[in-house]
C-alpha cells in the first residue's frame, strides 16, 4: 500500500495564461479563440509524450483556467472558438499511454476533473452569456470529440479526411467517459442506434453523414472553414448579455501556505491528520465590511471575500482529491461573524444581475458542486463561534451529516438567506434545501421564511441539522462518529455517498457522474481493459488484446 505522498508528486491546479504550454489564447472583439497546441513533452509526467494534441491533466488544468479567466477577466468576450493549431488534427483525446500508466484512482480523478471542466463550459454558455464553438479543423477523436460535445456548436472541416469519433470501445475496451456517451444521446439527441454504430466505429463519421446523424452541426470545405467559423462565432456573440466593453477582474495567484499537513489560504484552511485519516476544513467569514456596490466590487477584484474564499475552497478540494487519497473524512467548520456572511449574501442577491456578481455566484455554485462530487465523507460541526449562515450554511447542507452543539450557555446559531433559495442549485437541478426536504416540498420555503436565526434545538426541529448533542455528549458523539466513519470501507462509502447525495431528479449532468462514470469506473478495473492482455494495455504495442468474452 503506497501511503507515502511526497511533496514533489502533489498536483497544483493553479496556472495562468503566461504559463500555458498547451493553449494559445487570443481575443478579437467579442470573440476569443482558444487554440490547442499541446507540447508533447509538457505533460505531468515524462513517461508519455502528448502527441497529436492528446491531453493529460496538465492540459485540462489550463483549459479550466482559461474558461474561468474568460468569465472574470474578459467580460467583453461573448463567444469562444475552441480549435487547434496542429495541421489536420483537432485533438486525439486523452493520452492513452498516460491512462495506461495511471492508477485506478488517478484515472477516476482525471475523468472527474475533465468532466467538471466540460460542465463549466456548459455552465458558462447557459448562465454567463458565453457561447462556445468547436471548430474542428482536423481529426477529432475520443476526448477531443467529448470536448466538442461540451460546446454549443460543432463545426467540422469537410476535407475528405477529418472525422469525429469515439473509438474508446472498439480500440481501448473502455467508454467515452468524459460525458461522451451521455451527451451524444442526451444533449445532441443522436438516435440510439446511430449512436451505437458511431460508438463502435473506430474511424468515426465525417462529412454530410456526421451532420445527418446530428454528430456535428455543419461541415464546411477547407476553403470556407475559417470564415464560416468566424461568422458563426460573431452571430453567437451577439446573443450575449455580457457588457460590450469594460475591464474585468484579474484572478491573482492564491499562494496558499503549504506545509506537510496544512494548506493555509487567506480564508480557507485545510488541516490534515493523516494518521486518523481525517482533515479539518475551516472557512472564515469576512472580518469586516466588504465592498457593497458593483464599482466597489470591481475595484476590490479577487480580494472580494466570496470570490477569494470560494476560489480557495475550490483549490483546496482539488488538492485534497488528488493529493490526499488517505483522507477519507473531512470535518467542515466555519469561523467568524455570521452577520458578515449574511451581509455578503445581501450584496450578491441585490446585484445578482451584474455580470461580475453573477460570475461570483456561479463560481460558488460550481465549487459547492465540486464538494458534492468529492468522494470523501463530509461532517459539518456547528459550534459556538461558527458562521454557518446563508452561503456558508450550504457547506453544512452539502455535508453528509451535521452536528450542532446545543449548549444554552454558549450561543450558537445558524441562519438562512436567499442564497439558500435558488442561486446555488445542485447538479440535480434542485437547491440543497429542496433535495434535503424532498419528502415535504413545503418545508424549504417555510424554513426560508423564518426571519430569526435558528439555535441548535430549533435547527434540529426544523430538520436543518442531523444531530444537536448537548455539551455533555458533544465530544464523545462527534469523536465516535468520525472514528466510526474512518473505519469503514472507503469504496463502499464512495458508492454510498454517490447514491445518497443525489436524491430526486437526474439531469444530464448527474447522469454523467452517476450512470456513465460509475460504469466507466467498473470497466477501468476489468481485466478486459486493464489486465495484462486487456485492450488498454495492448494499445500501441505489437500485442493484440485477448478478451474473456463472458458478458456481465
User: How far apart are CB 53 and its own copies at their closest, in Å?
Assistant: 24
Backbone angles phi, psi at 472, to 5 degrees: -75, -35
State in angstroms the smallest separation of the CB of 331 from its own copies: 15
When the beta carbons of 243 and 495 are compared against its own copies, the nearer one is 495
DSSP three-state, residue 285: coil
Nearer Cβ to its own copies, position 6 or 552? Answer: 552
In whole angstroms, the minimum distance from the beta carbon of 531 to its own copies comes to 11
Q: How far apart (Å, rounded) are the C-alpha atoms in residues 474 and 453?
A: 21
Nearer to its own copies, 91 or 166 (CB): 166
Q: Which is nearer to its own copies, 353 or 487 (CB)?
A: 487
CB of 349 or CB of 519, closer to its own copies: 519
In angstroms, the CA 13 to CA 38 distance is: 18
Of 255 and 275, the one with the shorter C-beta distance to its own copies is: 275
Kindly provide the b/e burial profile for residues 150-162, where b requires at least 16 CB atoms within 10 angstroms of the residue's own CB: bbbbbbbbbbeeb
DSSP state of 253: -
Cα 406 from Cα 458, distance rounded (Å): 10
CB 187 → its own copies: shortest distance, Å?
10
What is the β-pairing status of strands 377-382 and 401-404? parallel
Min. distance of Cβ 11 from its own copies in angstroms? 15
Distance CA 238, CA 220 (A): 22
Task: Tell me how many degrees the CA angle 260-317-355 measures, rounded to the nearest 5.
Answer: 135
Judged by beta carbon, residue 138 or residue 173, the one nearer its own copies is 173
Residue 71: how many CA atoms within 13 Å on its side-chain side? 26
Question: What 3-state DSSP class applies to 150?
Answer: coil
As measured in angstroms, the least distance from the Cβ of 465 to its own copies is 8
* 155 versus 399: smaller Cβ distance to its own copies: 399
Q: Which is nearer to its own copies, 346 or 526 (CB)?
A: 526
Name the residue with cell 458593483. Answer: 294
Q: How far is the CB of 74 from its own copies (least distance, A)?
A: 34
Q: How far is the CB of 412 from its own copies (least distance, A)?
A: 18
Contacts of 217 (CB under 8 A, 6+ apart): 153, 154, 155, 211
Query: Which one-letter DSSP state was computed for residue 544?
Result: P
CB of 504 to its own copies, least distance (A): 7
Residue in this structure with the C-alpha cell 468474452, named with its chain if needed: 549
Nearest to 124 by CA among 60, 176, 74: 74
Give the residue with the Cβ less far from its own copies, 271 or 519: 519
Residue 124 CB, shortest distance to its own copies, in Å, is 24
Q: How many CB atoms lie within 10 A of CB 193?
A: 8
Question: What burial class does residue 274 get, using C-beta atoms within 10 Å of its C-beta: 0-12 exposed, 13-18 middle, 19+ buried?
Answer: middle
Rounded to the nearest whole angstrom, what is the least distance from the CB of residue 489 to its own copies in the complex? 3
User: Which grid coordinates are listed for 39?
Assistant: 507540447
Q: Which is nearer to its own copies, 103 or 161 (CB)?
A: 103
* Separation CA 62–CA 21 (nearest Å): 8
CA distances from 411 to 312, 515, 536 (A): 29, 44, 58
Number of H helices, E strands in the chain: 22, 21
Amino acid at each position: 500500500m503506497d501511503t507515502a505522498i511526497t511533496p514533489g508528486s502533489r498536483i497544483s491546479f493553479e496556472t495562468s495564461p503566461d504559463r500555458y504550454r498547451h493553449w494559445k489564447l487570443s481575443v478579437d472583439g467579442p470573440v476569443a479563440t482558444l487554440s490547442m497546441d499541446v507540447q508533447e513533452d509538457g505533460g505531468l509526467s515524462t513517461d508519455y509524450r502528448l502527441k497529436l494534441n492528446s491531453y493529460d491533466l496538465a492540459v485540462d488544468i489550463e483549459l479550466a483556467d482559461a474558461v474561468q479567466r474568460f468569465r472574470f477577466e474578459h467580460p467583453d468576450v461573448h463567444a469562444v472558438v475552441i480549435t487547434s493549431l496542429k495541421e489536420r488534427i483537432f485533438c486525439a483525446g486523452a493520452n492513452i499511454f498516460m491512462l495506461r500508466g495511471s492508477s485506478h484512482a488517478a484515472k477516476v480523478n482525471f475523468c472527474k476533473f475533465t468532466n467538471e471542466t466540460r460542465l463549466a463550459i456548459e455552465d458558462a454558455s447557459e448562465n454567463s452569456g458565453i457561447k462556445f464553438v468547436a471548430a474542428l479543423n482536423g481529426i477529432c477523436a475520443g476526448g477531443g470529440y467529448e470536448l466538442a460535445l461540451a460546446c454549443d456548436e460543432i463545426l467540422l472541416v469537410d476535407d475528405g479526411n477529418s472525422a469525429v469519433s469515439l473509438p474508446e470501445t472498439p480500440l481501448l475496451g473502455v467508454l467515452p467517459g468524459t460525458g461522451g456517451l451521455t451527451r451524444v444521446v442526451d444533449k445532441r439527441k443522436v438516435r440510439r442506434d446511430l449512436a451505437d454504430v458511431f460508438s463502435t466505429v473506430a474511424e468515426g463519421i465525417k462529412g454530410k453523414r456526421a451532420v445527418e446523424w446530428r454528430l456535428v452541426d455543419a461541415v464546411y470545405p477547407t476553403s470556407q472553414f475559417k470564415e464560416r467559423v468566424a461568422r458563426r462565432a460573431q452571430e453567437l456573440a451577439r446573443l450575449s448579455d455580457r457588457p460590450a466593453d469594460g475591464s474585468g477582474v484579474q484572478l491573482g495567484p492564491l499562494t496558499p501556505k503549504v506545509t506537510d499537513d496544512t494548506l493555509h489560504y487567506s480564508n480557507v484552511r485545510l488541516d490534515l491528520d493523516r494518521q486518523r485519516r481525517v482533515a479539518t476544513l475551516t472557512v472564515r467569514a469576512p472580518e469586516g465590511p466588504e465592498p457593497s456596490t458593483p464599482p466597489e466590487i470591481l475595484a476590490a477584484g479577487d480580494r472580494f471575500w466570496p470570490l477569494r474564499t470560494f476560489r480557495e475552497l475550490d483549490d483546496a478540494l482539488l488538492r485534497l482529491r488528488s493529493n490526499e487519497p488517505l483522507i477519507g473524512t473531512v470535518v467542515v467548520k466555519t469561523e467568524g461573524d455570521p452577520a458578515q456572511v449574511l451581509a455578503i449574501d445581501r450584496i450578491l442577491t441585490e446585484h445578482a444581475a451584474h455580470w461580475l456578481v453573477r460570475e461570483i455566484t456561479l463560481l460558488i455554485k460550481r465549487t459547492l458542486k465540486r464538494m458534492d462530487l468529492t468522494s470523501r465523507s463530509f461532517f459539518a460541526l456547528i459550534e459556538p463561534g461558527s458562521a454557518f449562515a446563508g452561503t456558508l450554511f450550504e457547506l453544512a447542507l452539502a455535508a453528509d451529516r451535521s452536528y450542532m452543539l446545543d449548549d444554552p450557555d454558549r450561543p450558537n446559531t445558524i441562519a438562512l438567506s436567499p442564497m439558500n433559495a435558488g442561486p446555488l442549485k445542485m447538479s440535480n437541478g434542485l437547491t440543497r434545501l429542496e433535495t434535503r426536504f424532498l419528502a415535504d416540498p413545503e418545508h424549504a420555503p417555510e424554513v426560508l421564511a423564518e426571519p430569526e436565526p435558528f439555535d441548535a434545538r430549533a435547527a434540529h426541529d426544523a430538520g436543518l441539522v442531523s444531530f444537536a448533542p448537548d455539551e455533555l455528549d458533544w465530544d464523545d458523539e462527534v469523536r465516535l462518529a468520525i472514528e466510526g466513519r474512518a473505519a469503514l470501507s472507503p469504496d463502499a462509502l464512495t458508492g454510498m455517498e454517490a447514491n445518497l447525495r443525489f436524491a430526486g431528479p437526474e439531469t444530464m449532468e448527474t447522469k454523467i457522474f452517476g450512470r456513465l462514470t460509475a460504469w466507466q469506473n467498473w470497466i477501468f478495473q476489468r481485466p478486459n481493459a486493464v489486465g495484462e492482455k486487456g485492450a488498454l494495455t495492448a494499445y500501441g504495442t505489437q500485442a493484440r488484446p485477448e478478451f474473456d468474452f463472458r458478458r456481465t
